[in-house]
Amino acid sequence: MEIIGTLVIGLIAGLVAKLLLPGKDPGGCIITMLLGVGGAFVATYLGQFLGIYKPGDTAGFIGAVIGSVIILLVYRMFLKKE
């Protein structure tokens, strides 16, 4: 159930990250949502490592949005260097 919760929160967080960082991304909405899922997983495991979340807890929505925004910024940074 932990993974399903992280996926759902990540998809929504990816959409919110796209709204916070508008711009033309090559992957469009699907890639942004997948980056959101990645951000949610990063926030979940980083939060567990830092002791913010207990084992088995998923990242909160705000943590997932922050993780998604960070991953989206890094993604854009790598795309600019082409």
pTM metric for this prediction: 0.71
pLDDT at 82 over 70: no
pLDDT at 26 over 70: no
Domain of residue 26, residue span = 2-80
Look up residue 76 and give its two tokens. Answer: 């854009």
Sign of the torsion formed by the C-alpha atoms of 67, 81, 31 and 22 = positive
Look up residue 59 and give its two tokens. Answer: 């990242």
Q: What total of structural domains would you count in the chain? A: 1
pLDDT at 27: 67
State which H helix or E strand residue 76 sits in: helix 61-80
